[in-house]
Amino acid sequence: MRLKEFDYYLPKGLIAQKPAEPRDSSRLMVINRKTEEIEHRIFRDIVEYIDEGDLLVLNTTKVIPARLFGRKTTGAKVEVFLLEKVSNGVWKCLVKPGAKLKPGAEVVFKKGLKAKIVERCPDGTRIVDFNTNNDVEIFSYGEVPLPPYIKNPEVDPTRYQTVFAKEEGAVAAPTAGLHFTKELIEKLKEKGVNFAEVVLHIGLGTFRPVKVENIEEHKMEEEFYMVPEETVRLIENTRKNGKRVIAVGTTVVRTLETIARLPKSEKYSGKTDLFIYPPFEFKVVDALITNLHLPKSTLLMLVSAFAGLDLIKKAYKIAVEEKYRFFSFGDACFII
């Protein structure tokens, strides 16, 4: 398929600059793959569409304070962006200005934290060695990174975490989960809906632009995932009982469809570079909760594979006409 097939017109004014308050008051577009009907609801109404015995799978990754600001020994300002932990005190990072931070260069932060550039990787990232092995100390110097299209400086960083986030390691939030409140989760549990957890630590690769016209040539960067034994068991039981496995977000889809292609195991962990685009055979996921994604993005390609490209184009055209809010702090879709 060609990249241009995943383009659409989006007025800049529809890019959400702040989250809905409360979380579950965002709008919800319900997209029926079978009938192609589209309904307009509020997110908390999702309770009406999920049945007793269905399984909601959450990504419990937590966004780390990945953006650190320091200075070179010359006094010049430097930004160090944590991407992935290599070992205690050693991180793979993006650095700015990259051209001037060569191996051996030192970055000084406030209160005694220092970091040395150890290696330049082929992809332009750096291996950075801090003068502490304590992640908590390193994180204390950082800020939670918001997506670059969010220009509002007053956004509370805690709103860029899900209420169920607990496993530190992501540099971006699994945004479909941002719509859930603890009260909404309890209401679903009272109805008899089951919940399961996976972890996929979202890296920048999820959001890297596709630069090739033939999308099959695009390469996803690897991201760490983990699926515990309890989740594997719950998925098997849900399938056995004829109920639905509902993914809360594209990261959950990629995790579940990754393990579906591996030898059967009690639990799973590893790295995935699974790139989902039309056509694709989904082996686990029956329904998907997701946000409205960027034009030409791998996320838009995934939802197009799940719902069908024509239906997604129709839904997004309606979303623009109805002035839905797009991207990380925007409104949600439930594709059933």
pLDDT tens digit sequence for 222-262: 999 999 999 999 999 999 999 999 999 999 999 999 999 99
Q: Are 273 and 221 in contact (CB under 8 A)?
A: yes
Distance, in Å, from the CA atom of 94 to the CA atom of 67, rounded to the nearest integer, reads 9
Q: Per-residue pLDDT tens for 94-151?
A: 999 877 788 999 999 988 899 999 999 988 899 999 999 999 999 999 999 998 899 8
| Encoded amino acid at 152, one letter | N
Distance, in Å, from the CA atom of 275 to the CA atom of 268, rounded to the nearest integer, reads 19
CATH 3.40.1780.10 residue window(s) in the chain? 3-63+154-335
Q: Are 64 and 75 in contact (CB under 8 A)?
A: no
**Taking the model in full, what pTM does it have?**
0.95
pLDDT (average), residues 256-284: 97
Distance, in Å, from the CA atom of 244 to the CA atom of 242, rounded to the nearest integer, reads 7
pLDDT-derived band at 54 (thresholds 50, 70, 90) equals very high
* Of 272, 63, 24, 88, the residue nearest 166 (C-alpha): 63
Distance, in Å, from the CA atom of 12 to the CA atom of 29, rounded to the nearest integer, reads 20
pLDDT-derived band at 210 (thresholds 50, 70, 90) equals very high
Distance, in Å, from the CA atom of 334 to the CA atom of 171, rounded to the nearest integer, reads 25
What is the pLDDT, as a whole number, of residue 216?
A: 96
Range with lowest mean pLDDT among 20-24, 59-63, 201-205: 201-205
Whether 207 has a pLDDT exceeding 80, the answer reads no
What is 67-143's CATH number? 2.40.10.240
What is the pLDDT, as a whole number, of residue 206?
A: 74
What is the pLDDT, as a whole number, of residue 140?
A: 94
- Give me the residues paired with residue 79 across strands: 69, 96
What is the pLDDT, as a whole number, of residue 110?
A: 87
CATH 2.40.10.240 residue window(s) in the chain? 67-143
Ramachandran bin of 246, using left for φ above 0, alpha for ψ from -120 to 50, beta for the remaining angles: beta
pLDDT-derived band at 62 (thresholds 50, 70, 90) equals very high
What is the pLDDT, as a whole number, of residue 101?
A: 86
CATH fold group of domain 3-63+154-335: QueA-like (3.40.1780)
| Encoded amino acid at 263, one letter | P
